[in-house]
Amino acid sequence: MQAIVCIKQVPDTTEVKIDPEKGTLIREGVPSIINPFDTYAIEEALRLREKFGGKVTVITMGPPQALSALKEAVAMGADEAILLSDQAFAGADTWATSYTLAAAIRKIGSFDLIFCGRQAIDGDTGQVGPGVATQLQINQLTYVCRISNLDFDQKKIEVERLVEEGKEVVQSSLPCLITVVKDINQPRYPTILGIRRSQKIQIPVWTANDLEVNRDYLGLNGSPTRVVKIETPPPRQGKGQIIQAESIEQQVAILAEKLIAEKIIV
């Protein structure tokens, strides 16, 4: 089984703070992590390799620092890693990101399964998985919470997808792209052996020159969307009444009256 896992390095958004005066993000000291959803993608690929044999390759498109995310994936057990990094990739939206990742996957060549996270926590779009699948003209199975059957002879896969109504059981042909939700597994921690391997491994860096791409489709240039403004969200204008009284009984009685006066409780 040949699996390719697309991972993204993101700032830990729980740690991102806003400068209240300037209304800007404070990035200093905010750790970079592997997009949490992508760790489930890595784990699922590793589990399949343990069952069927084969190889797990992780790829990421990003700045040189993203190398540390790939090393972490290797420490978890990934066999190979490739960094896609080039000034020409900078400023890519989900279209251009999908295009570049798909070109890299074509260069890697053979694969049975591609894994992505359901979404990245910085942009929260969940568009790159479907984008890559469409670029490669393979099937996509999104929001997968369980792989229930995998048959490499018949080239068939059966999965459960998390949809609004419950779970949808879908069968598809291989190769295909899967985006995973966190119900699918519990990601492992890096092992000592893995960490040692990750320190030694030489991770190739591919630039635009290494890929068969139309340069007009890369980075900011190839991106249909433009971010034109960034602002901090206006705070919700709540009434902000803290109800104070002698006793809890009085407090809740006042609250109950207020809610009834709002005509919300009848």
Ligand X SMILES: Cc1cc2nc3c(=O)[nH]c(=O)nc-3n(C[C@H](O)[C@H](O)[C@H](O)COP(=O)(O)OP(=O)(O)OC[C@H]3O[C@@H](n4cnc5c(N)ncnc54)[C@H](O)[C@@H]3O)c2cc1C
- Which spans of this chain sit near ligand AMP (rule: CB under 6 A)? 6-8, 35, 37-38, 41, 60-62, 94, 97, 101, 116-117, 119-120, 123-129
Q: What is the chain's length?
A: 266
Using CB atoms, what's the residue nearest to ligand X? 121
Bond prior to 175 in cis (omega within 30° of 0): yes
Binding to other proteins in span 198-227, by CB under 8 A:
216, 220-221, 223-227
Could you give the string, one character per residue 6-45, with x where binding to ligand X holds by CB under 6 A and - elsewhere?
-------xx-------------------------------
6: partner contacted, choices ligand AMP, other proteins, ligand X, none (Cβ within 5-8 A by kind): ligand AMP
Least Å distance, CB 126 to ligand AMP, is 5
Burial, 68: exposed, middle or buried (Cβ in 10 Å; 0-12, 13-18, 19+)?
A: middle
* DSSP string computed for 152-182: TTTTEEEEEEEETTEEEEEEEESSEEEEE-G
- Contact status: 29 vs other proteins (CB under 8 A): no
Instruction: State the binding partner of 229 from ligand X, other proteins, ligand AMP, none, CB within 5 to 8 A by kind.
Output: other proteins
CA-CA distance, 191 to 193, in Å (whole number)?
5
Among positions 68, 168, 188, 205, the unique one binding other proteins when judged by CB under 8 A: 168
Nearer to other proteins, 91 or 187 (CB): 91
- Residue 32 · residue 9 · CB < 8 Å: yes
Separation in Å, CA 63 to CA 8, 83, 93, 203: 11, 9, 15, 14
Q: Which of 42, 89, 85, 92 is nearest to 65 (CA)?
A: 85
- Cβ distance to other proteins smaller for residue 192 or 249: 249
Q: Which of 58, 70, 121, 144 binds ligand X (CB under 6 A)?
A: 121
Interface with ligand X (CB under 6 A): 13-14, 121
